[in-house]
Structure 1
Amino acid sequence: MASNSQEAVYNSDTSQNAESTVLFDHDNLKKKFNLFLKRLCPKTVNLANPSWACVITYIIGVILEGKEKQKNNEKVDNLSECAMETYDVMKSDKKDVLVVKGNSPKPIIVVPNEECFELLAKIHLDNDHADYETMLKFVSSNYLISEENLSLFMKLCNVCTKSEPFVNHCYYIFVMDLTDFEDKPYRYILTLVEISTHFVHLRPLIFDSSSEIAIELLKIFSDFGPPITLKTTTIKFDFFISVNAKLIQMCPEFNVLIEKTEWTNTENFYKSIKHELYEWMVMTGCSNWATGCRMVQWRMNNISNSENRTPFSLIFGVHANYSLYTNPIWLCVNETTSDVKKFKSKFCILERKSIPEVSNFIVKREATDNKDELMADRQNSTCHICHYPITMTPSYCTTCQSTIHSFCGYRYSGKMSIVLIMCAKCKKKV
Structure 2
Amino acid sequence: MAARRGEPKKSDVPFDYQATKQEYMKTIKKQADVRPWLQSELKSVIADIKMANGKSSELTQTYETFVSDDQERGILILRRDKSPTIIEVVSAEDSFDLFVEVHQATGHGGRDKMLQNMRQKYHVSEVCLKIFLDLCNVCRTNKKVNPEKNIHHTVIVDLLDFCATPEETDGDFGHVLIYKFKWSGFTLLRPISSTNFEKDIALELLNIFLDFGPPAKIVVDISRLSLFQSVIVQIMSLSCDFSVLVEYNVNEDPTKYCIKDSIQNWIDVNGTGKGWATMCHLLQWKINKSKSIEQSIHVKDDCPHSAHFK
User: What is the TM-score of this pair, normalised by structure 2?
Assistant: 0.58
Deviations for 1:328-378, whole angstroms, at most 9, x for unmatched residues? xx676xxxxxxxxxxx8xxxx68999977xxxxxxxxxxxxxxxxxxxxxx
The CA deviation at 1:127 is 2.6
Matched, 1:102 2:102: no
The match for 1:31 is: 22
Q: Which has the higher contact order (CA 8 A, sep 6+)?
A: 2
Aligned letter for 2:96? F
With over 3 angstroms needed to count, the CA separation of the structure-2 counterparts of 1:162 and 1:355, relative to structure 1, is closer
- Report 1:2-401 matches (<5 A): 10-11=1-2, 13-14=4-5, 15-21=7-13, 23-41=14-32, 49-67=35-53, 70=54, 76=55, 81-92=57-68, 93-94=70-71, 95-103=73-81, 104-164=83-143, 172-175=158-161, 190-193=176-179, 201-203=188-190, 213-214=194-195, 219-224=200-205, 265-270=251-256, 290-295=280-285
Structure with the greater alpha carbon radius of gyration: 1
Aligned letter for 2:64? D
CA distance in 2, matches of 1:130, 1:148: 16
The match for 2:149 is: none
- Cα-Cα RMSD: 5.2
CA distance in 1, matches of 2:133, 2:290: 47
Aligned letter for 2:76? L
- Partner-residue secondary structure (3-state), 1:11: coil
Deviations for 1:205-263, whole angstroms, at most 9, x for unmatched residues? 9xxxxxx644676544335469xxx97787x9xxx9xxxxxxxxxxxxxxxxxxxxx99
With over 3 angstroms needed to count, the CA separation of the structure-2 counterparts of 1:11 and 1:204, relative to structure 1, is closer
With over 3 angstroms needed to count, the CA separation of the structure-2 counterparts of 1:65 and 1:293, relative to structure 1, is same
The CA deviation at 1:114 is 1.7
CA distance in 1, matches of 2:198, 2:126: 29
Q: Is 1:172–1:266's contact at 8 Å kept on the other side of the alignment?
A: no
- Partner-residue secondary structure (3-state), 1:155: helix
Runs of 5+ consecutive residues of structure 2 not aligned to the other structure: 146-152, 208-218, 228-247, 264-277
The CA deviation at 1:60 is 1.1
CA distance in 1, matches of 2:128, 2:180: 23
Aligned letter for 2:39? A
Aligned letter for 1:35? K
The CA deviation at 1:90 is 1.8
Deviations for 1:134-176, whole angstroms, at most 9, x for unmatched residues? 1011122221111111111111111112244999xx9632248
With over 3 angstroms needed to count, the CA separation of the structure-2 counterparts of 1:269 and 1:296, relative to structure 1, is same
The match for 1:244 is: none
With over 3 angstroms needed to count, the CA separation of the structure-2 counterparts of 1:156 and 1:215, relative to structure 1, is closer
Q: Is 1:276–1:296's contact at 8 Å kept on the other side of the alignment?
A: no
With over 3 angstroms needed to count, the CA separation of the structure-2 counterparts of 1:171 and 1:33, relative to structure 1, is farther
Aligned letter for 2:189? L
Runs of 5+ consecutive residues of structure 1 not aligned to the other structure: 1-9, 44-48, 71-75, 206-211, 241-261, 278-287, 300-329, 333-343, 357-382, 393-430
CA distance in 2, matches of 1:196, 1:53: 43
The CA deviation at 1:192 is 3.8
CA distance in 1, matches of 2:138, 2:249: 26
Aligned letter for 1:221? A
CA distance in 1, matches of 2:160, 2:124: 38
Q: Is 2:182–2:296's contact at 8 Å kept on the other side of the alignment?
A: no
With over 3 angstroms needed to count, the CA separation of the structure-2 counterparts of 1:39 and 1:195, relative to structure 1, is farther
CA distance in 1, matches of 2:135, 2:19: 10
Identity of aligned residues (%): 19
CA distance in 2, matches of 1:153, 1:352: 34
- Partner-residue secondary structure (3-state), 2:80: coil
The CA deviation at 1:296 is 6.2
Aligned letter for 2:100? A
- Partner-residue secondary structure (3-state), 2:138: coil
With over 3 angstroms needed to count, the CA separation of the structure-2 counterparts of 1:201 and 1:216, relative to structure 1, is farther
With over 3 angstroms needed to count, the CA separation of the structure-2 counterparts of 1:12 and 1:57, relative to structure 1, is closer
CA distance in 2, matches of 1:266, 1:33: 28
The match for 2:150 is: none
The CA deviation at 1:89 is 0.9
The CA deviation at 1:87 is 0.8
User: What is the TM-score of this pair, normalised by structure 1?
Assistant: 0.44
Q: Is 1:176–1:191's contact at 8 Å kept on the other side of the alignment?
A: no
CA distance in 2, matches of 1:351, 1:124: 41
CA distance in 2, matches of 1:116, 1:137: 15
